[in-house]
Amino acid sequence: MRKRNKLIFAALLASVFSLFFASQAVFAQSEATLPDNWQLLDTQHDSVYGTSVNRAYQELLKGKKPHRVIVAVIDSGVDTAQVDLKGHLWTNPGEVPGNDVDDDHNGYVDDIHGWNFLGGKDGKSIVKESSALQRAYWRLVSEFGNITDSTNVKKKDRPEYRYWLKVKQARTQDSVKNKQDYATVSTGIARFDILDQMLKSHIGKDTLYLSDIQHFDTDNDTLQMAKQIAIRVLDESDPHNSFEDFLSQAKEYLDGIKQNLDGLDKDPNASRKEIVGDNWNDIKDTHYGNNDVTGHFARHATHVSGIIAAIRNNGIGMDGITNEVLIMPVKVVPDGDERDKDVALGIRYAVDNGANIINMSFGKGYSSHKEWVDDAVKYAEKHDVLLVHAAGNDGADDDSIPTYPNPFFLDGKRADNFITVGASSATDADGHLAASFSNYGKKHVDIFAPGVDIYSTLPGNTYGTMSGTSMATPVVSGIAALVLEYYPGLSAKQLRWVLDNSVTKLDTVKVIQPGSSDTMVPFSSLCISGGIVNAYNALKLAATLKGERDIR
């Protein structure tokens, strides 16, 4: 899913710098700054499409005693020293820290706060990983690459051959797109560098933040245009970042494109062999990795974890959704595409160690071993664990173009313990209540949740804003945990039903269909529930079930 967050960034970069020499009239002043906790606010009382979490605490939960809930965050690394999170980390009661012994005999040595399936015995971890598409191509090219006549393919191999043809075509298209993106982004960065130097020289500061640029007053048309571009960039990426931070992220994104291009003819499994050393094609090879759940790639999962569990009302940073939750970090997501084996084993690890809810803010377009993940989803379903998954940030219809993992098994049946989440904005201004980047689908996406400009924890006791269905997903996971804390008798199936049937309904609201420029559709057509998750409504509905009603 990190790859998909980069797609959001790329779209912003392209849309803004393409207007670099446009008329100043193109740029409107930024909207009023949103409260950092807007996702917790109430539509009626606060005039933003939040989730009514704070209202639920004020009106429904006073004097009630919650039960502790464990939420596994299957993702990248989590900063376990983050001051707003470290009090809410799951600790394995069966392990003795630092004795290099598997005390609880689960096959994972010193898994004190979770497990890292991207690690090796020497303590190293994979950071950058190949794409699932490249791995599929590499796996199939030796078998089918030289076949020019399909009649030469054995009957039993024809389904795999048809898959190979799709992979081959997609790889070619991906290569062309990466080359185009590299040229476009390179040009954009060069122009932004000019803009940065121009503003610095006139404002008189070496580092420019949003407030510095907003307070810069000029009558010069060129400088005024540069000012509005910079404001838009920071406002739509991260208002808490400096312009230098934005440029650094842009250059990191460009490096990623180059690595993808350079890696087309290289073994996509090389780093896996060197660092992890497992057999990635054997799901029964389970005991690998290490206990470093933080590592050098912890921004994404730390942000996700804070949305759920940052300590409330401590006067530091921001508030999560609930204080009665423990975060179990399970590291399977690199800078690249996660592997099906790691996802499947990560789900099983979380279930075996007592997770009630599993947050999965990641996804990809290809799955070489979907059956492994399906079996893990069924395992979670059997143990009554709710899975909450991000719909994706491609502005695409998940009903037409599936993302993985998903709740639909190879036999066509659907998992009852699986929720897929799209991203919504704070207001319906300009028709963008459904985030422009969010995937959607009346059959495949259950619910929408706040996922634009979400302020949360970051590594090193810092905080920042991120956008994506990756951010919307922990909003749903957090609210699911909140409901389960007060109604612990609910099954995973019932919990999903409660969330889907208590949304803020938007039957009369029309929005621009994500991924389009002007196609207007009813918001209710974008997902199964037809609305945005609502904690207040969910708690009221849960009170009528009491963990006993069978939902059909």
Q: How many CB atoms lie within 10 A of CB 387?
A: 28
Torsion (CA) 78, 83, 86, 88 in degrees, nearest 10: -100
Of the listed ranges 22-36, 62-76, 252-266, the least confidently predicted one is 22-36
pLDDT value at position 468? 94
What is the DSSP code (8-state) at residue 118?
T
pLDDT value at position 546? 63
168: enclosing H helix or E strand? helix 158-203
pLDDT value at position 325? 98
pLDDT in tens, 148-161: 888 889 999 998 99
Of the listed ranges 2-16, 500-514, 517-531, the least confidently predicted one is 2-16
The CATH topology of domain 66-130+284-542 is: Rossmann fold (3.40.50)
Mean per-residue pLDDT, 75-86: 97
Mean per-residue pLDDT, 133-137: 92
pLDDT averaged over every residue in the chain: 91
What is the DSSP code (8-state) at residue 209?
B
Q: What confidence category does residue 13 fall into, taking pLDDT thresholds of 50, 70 and 90?
A: low
Considering the chain, what percentage of its residues have pLDDT values greater than 90?
74
pLDDT value at position 206? 93
Report which residue type is found at 230: A
pLDDT in tens, 46-63: 999 999 999 999 999 999
- 458, 299 contact by CB (below 8 A): yes
pLDDT value at position 547? 53
pLDDT value at position 235? 79
* Domain layout of the chain by residue ranges: 66-130+284-542, 136-262
pLDDT value at position 27? 39
Does the N-terminal peptide bond of residue 514 adopt cis geometry, omega within 30 degrees of 0? no
Mean per-residue pLDDT, 230-246: 85
221: enclosing H helix or E strand? helix 221-237
**Whose CA is closest to 502, among 466, 550, 549, 543?**
543
The angle subtended at Cα 551 by Cα 545 and Cα 552, nearest 5°, is 155
CA distances 110 to 95, 218, 221, 501, 542, Å, are: 6, 59, 61, 41, 38
pLDDT in tens, 290-334: 999 999 889 999 999 999 999 999 999 999 999 999 999 999 999
Q: Which residue has the tokens 């990426």?
A: 237
- 233, 246 contact by CB (below 8 A): yes
Give pTM, 2 decimals: 0.89
**Cα 301 from Cα 475, distance rounded (Å):** 13
Q: Which two tokens stand for residue 479?
A: 């609210």
- Does residue 493 register a pLDDT over 90? yes
- Does residue 19 register a pLDDT over 90? no
Residues in contact with 148: Cβ distance below 8 Å, sequence separation at least 6, in sequence order? none
- 447, 503 contact by CB (below 8 A): yes
- The set of long-range contacts for 39-43, using a CB threshold of 8 Å and a minimum separation of 24, is 39/307, 39/449, 39/450, 39/454, 39/475, 40/319, 40/321, 42/536, 43/504
- Does residue 107 register a pLDDT over 50? yes
First to last CA, the chain: 32
**Cα 205 from Cα 207, distance rounded (Å):** 6
* Radius of gyration in angstroms for the set of CA atoms belonging to the chain, rounded to a whole number: 23
Of the listed ranges 22-26, 257-261, 357-361, the least confidently predicted one is 22-26
Residues in contact with 432: Cβ distance below 8 Å, sequence separation at least 6, in sequence order? 425, 511, 512
pLDDT value at position 70? 99
- Does residue 473 register a pLDDT over 80? yes
- 161, 147 contact by CB (below 8 A): yes
